[in-house]
Amino acid sequence: MHLGHLIPFLFTKWLREVFDVPLIIQITDDEIHFWKDLSLEKVKEMAVENIKDIIAIGFHPEKTFIFRNLEYMGTMASEKDVLDTSTGKPLVAADQNGQNAVEDFVDPWNVHTSSMKGVDYDKLINKFGCSAIDDSLIERFKRVANVEEVHLFLRRGVFFSHRDLHVILDCVEKGQKFYLYTGRCPSSDSMHLGHLIPFLFTKQSIGFQETLARIKKQDTFHENRSHFGFSDSDCMAKLLFPYNQAVPSFSSAFPHIFKGKTDVPCLIPCGIDQDLYFRMARDVAPRIEFLKPSLMHSKLFPALQGANSKMSASDPNSAIFLTDTEKQIKKKINKYAYSGGRDTIEEHRERGGDCSVDIAFQYLTYFEENDEKLEKIRQSYSSGAMLSGKIKKILIEKLTRVVLDHQTRKKSITEDIVRGFMTPRQLVIDF
């Protein structure tokens, strides 16, 4: 996992603690098997390592359930399922001079923008048909959650849009419970285990399978292709995968957690690139008499090379990984982090740095918790008083602490702890 993968989990942890609700975390190991030329054994190794990273963030063991699709569903895929490694629609990339630029494009497999400032999220809100998280909604969130200040990801606009968040806030005001659902696809950047962890269960989850069947029955082949843009050359497993990701949106999938209740509202914090899956889930929900899941969308965490690209697990120089050493972090930031500084010191002193494109500053907006300190850095850098080398030094110190602290916590995650999080059980929540 890299730093960008942490964002939804850090925010989800805060939400779970504020509202004291159960959390479902789905590991979509079937997704990476279907889209990448990787063996099932390798996929499982990556999933286990990612699960340890997730647990190390500090989730409550009695209120969190983690599962892997390929194991929990009892539907181990065949190696023959992987017929191709295409990842979606081809896009025309912009060159360094901005030529051949196309409109911003975001889906679960492709992200493209020609601007060094990144995706235009206001336009994306209109394109996707979601709603902005504005000041009035944040103020209501504070009142309902009974907190003096919201998470920095909310107050700084990292989570910037939503679908039906007011439904969740209404539930809380009425004293009703909801649950959180998030997840991730295992990534190849992880340091793999030398052996495979023996999990406690291999049998099917009946609730999951029944919910999956109901969703599939309500969606047509035409709607599937319309939603996800699959072509005739895509393997059937790809066409079916989106339903697997939609299932945890409905409490009927987890009767052991929700005591058979099928009407528990769900809130999904996720990257905006994942919205497509849950648009489908929301479309299907009324047809099977389930509640539509609510969503909170985060902006895309930029690559070191700039906000016009997305962090990639396949490019070790595009990201700071949770396995990086102090030396690697320093080298990557100094060498690869796109700078908003000017060409010469004289020009920088005169015109100041551009915080809107400077990666060191952008990363600090995610990881520097002190608002006053961050604002002083912004003013100093944008005025020209602070040079690019200094702001990179500040980021190196901050991220080194974040990553090394995470590595220390992860070392304490044993096989028994992993099994505890992944055992189907009733969580310590009163429904």
The pLDDT of residue 86 is 33
The pLDDT of residue 329 is 96
Q: Note whether 65 and 105 are within 8 A (CB).
A: no
Mean pLDDT for all residues in the chain: 84
**Residue 100 in tokens:** 């051949």
With bands split at pLDDT 50, 70 and 90, how would you rate the model's confidence at 392?
A: very high
Distance (Å, whole) CA 301 – CA 13: 18
At position 426, the amino acid (one-letter code) is: Q
The predicted-structure confidence for 294-344, as pLDDT tens digits, reads as follows: 999 999 888 899 888 766 666 788 889 899 999 999 999 999 999 999 999
Using the structure block, give the residue that is written with the tokens 């009946």: 206
Distance (Å, whole) CA 16 – CA 23: 7
Distance (Å, whole) CA 353 – CA 377: 11
The larger pLDDT score, comparing residue 193 to residue 66, is at 66
Distance (Å, whole) CA 360 – CA 370: 16
With bands split at pLDDT 50, 70 and 90, how would you rate the model's confidence at 94?
A: very low
With bands split at pLDDT 50, 70 and 90, how would you rate the model's confidence at 74?
A: low
169: left (phi over 0), alpha (psi -120 to 50) or beta: alpha
The pLDDT of residue 89 is 33
**Residue 67 in tokens:** 């599962």
Quick one: how far is CA 357 from the chain centroid?
22
The larger pLDDT score, comparing residue 298 to residue 87, is at 298
The predicted-structure confidence for 34-60, as pLDDT tens digits, reads as follows: 777 777 788 888 888 999 999 999 999
**Residue 74 in tokens:** 């009892």
Quick one: how far is CA 359 from the chain centroid?
19
The predicted-structure confidence for 278-306, as pLDDT tens digits, reads as follows: 999 999 999 999 999 999 999 988 889 98
User: What is the 3 state secondary structure string of 40-61?
Assistant: HHHHHHHHHHHHHHHHHCCCCC
Query: How confident is the model over 7-19, as a mean pLDDT?
Result: 94
The pLDDT of residue 88 is 33
H or E segment to which residue 262 belongs? none
Using the structure block, give the residue that is written with the tokens 């992880």: 190
